Amino acid sequence: MAKEKEKKEKAYGAEAITVLEGLEPVRKRPGMYIGSTGVEGLHHLIWEIFDNSRDEAMGGFCDRIEVALLPGNRVRIVDNGRGIPVEIHKTTKVSALETVMTTLHAGGKFGGEGSGYKVSGGLHGVGASVVNALSQYAKVTVHRDGGEHMQEYVRGKAKAKVKKIGASKLSGTIVLFDPDPEIFSEIKFNWNAIVQHLRQQAYLVKGLEINILDLREYAGRIDTDDTFYLRDMGHQCISTSFYFEGGLYSLIKFHNKFQTPIHRDIFYIDKQEGSVSVEIALQYVDDITSREIAFANNTYNSEGGMHVTGFRTALTRCLNDYAKKNGIVKDSDESYTGDDVREGLTAVISIKMPEIQFEGQTKAKLGSVEARSATEKVFGDAFSAFLEEHPDDARAIIQKVVLAMKARKAAKAAKDSVLRKGALEGLTLPGKLADCQSRNAEESELFIVEGDSAGGSSKQGRDRRTQAILPLKGKILNVERARLDKMLASNEVKALVIALGTAIGDTFDISKLRYHKIIIATDADVDGAHIRTLLLTLFYRYFRAVIEAGHIFIAQPPLYRVKKGKETLYFYTEQEKETYLKKEGVSSEELEGEMEGEEVQEETKEEEEATAKKKVAKLHIQRYKGLGEMNPEELWETTMDPAQRILKKVNVDDAAEADKIFDLLMGSDVAPRKSFIQSNARLANLDI
């Protein structure tokens, strides 16, 4: 084993670094390399450098990575791997470190057997050089072969040659980079996004310790030059650590934390098939939705791919074979479908392989054909054995699948009666919908409002040409655990589905969406928040493509109207109102009775000259509890006028995290929801 590791380490020298082309295009077209120059592209810089360290861990050369956010939004990433080679590269005639950092498509991930990595997450190997090119300053420190080496860069260009700055008994790489404000309009890292992404990576690499530090607000001196791991210095800061021995087994437990499992044992397999390593874990829960999370070389594949296809094929075949073998299914017409066997399933599929191929630039879908057959064989053999060896678990799974099949058949007739002949394609719009005149979806807006009172005001105050109004009566059905046929039996849900024009379920077609702005405008109270959550649950579960396309918005009506003489002001938050009152010299206590419509007088300060006349300004403050309290002119001016209104776009940045929150808040299990409310009660704004 030691000889094999020594052989691998020798193979990772300057000759393992392959050069394909130069670096110049990166600063001209950064979006081609990191997706965008917005917040996602900014965070992509961290992922690129982290992936290099993680690939060291996947190769067995590294077991600890530290990611630190430093003052000034600098980022420092450290690993205890082999260290980037520093000797002279035979092609570029400069240090291999400088080659990696300043040349596009240069790295240890090309060249097959002679390269530094058999398996890596980076397909193109552009990570380090792209991050360097898009940083106004970067520095790499390498501990390798008994020495400490360093090189600095400005906007992708080396300031000087790599130099040895001392002796070292350590091994690893430290990358410090400062994102360039000339490239990124806003440089502000999201702590939660970083934690969620790196937590996921920790599950995918068993035995890897990942430490994350937030030192952005640290007041003391941070010595990044003489310190390897900043965590070991004991800085008082926000920090999170991850270490999972269980790999995907632990990830399944995390995803099902707020679910009720229907079988005790989590299925898990980790096996090599040819050049493809297949790791899969799954568990069925008491739910009607499914969660299949796929990774290839630790890169998340949001659109699945060949490994998911192989998994699904094997899953359906295994459960059908087991049911027929045990006399549960006798007629071929009674075979379970893919939808039947995936209902309530939580599964994570992770494959690792050399020469990996993705479809498109984003790596959202795996295209490597050999991954399908390898996944199908490894999972099929292991899951068949699992069912035989765990009869109680197999029985519970089959019962779940049988219920899904019966429900599918029972729902089909009811669903067909609603969906047939284009009944949901906008042929008969609901009577409560006040539609707009325009038939151009790009300029059309649909306001979903709460109750007839708000509906009346908004219908009178709207721009009839482009704005449609759909009032909802009461709280709509909680669709978290409702099947499609039950949903469409709800008049409120059915009216909304018809108004959207996309249909639903198998017949959903986003190209038929009748409005490109769907605006949820509920009251600013507890009931309004509940209705908004129910609507978001509906959109998330059945119209997620509409959210992902950026068509769902939440209106922000004002909380207060303040009249001072002939001047009328609107305030959207409590803080805005308090700031204004403080400026006017009036305290909230003086306005205790003002919410009922009384008028108060604000007097000038006592310090003013006694001979001066006191300035008196009459303030009238109204607290809005619902849109129905506004007259049409106020509603237009504050909430509906595109030139003045405030809208919040709804995004699903992390589908898995959103899925977990909806399960917790809208599911049937009371205990985790109660715990969540107790833990977060102090953050709530109560409307009593």
Q: Which residues are identified as catalytic?
A: 450, 523, 525, 527
Report whether 403 contacts 341 (CB < 8 A): no
Residue 566's alpha-carbon distances to 36, 37, 313, 569, 602, in angstroms, are 47, 45, 71, 10, 16
CA 620 and chain centroid, separation: 44
DSSP letters, 161-183, are --EEEEE-S--EEEEEEEE-TTT
Q: What six digits make up the tokens of 221?
A: 């001196």
Report whether 150 contacts 158 (CB < 8 A): no
687 class by beta-carbon count within 10 Å (0-12 exposed, 13-18 middle, 19+ buried): middle
Calculate helix-pair angle for 191-204, 39-58, nearest 10 degrees: 20
**Short-list 347, 247, 248, 261, CA closest to 304:** 347
Report whether 267 contacts 386 (CB < 8 A): yes
Q: Residue for token digits 């309009």?
A: 185
d(CA 642, CA 644): 6
Report whether 177 contacts 129 (CB < 8 A): no
d(CA 373, CA 371): 6
Which run of H or E residues covers position 666?
helix 655-666
**Short-list 523, 501, 513, 516, CA closest to 449:** 523
Residue 315's alpha-carbon distances to 262, 341, 353, in angstroms, are 17, 7, 22
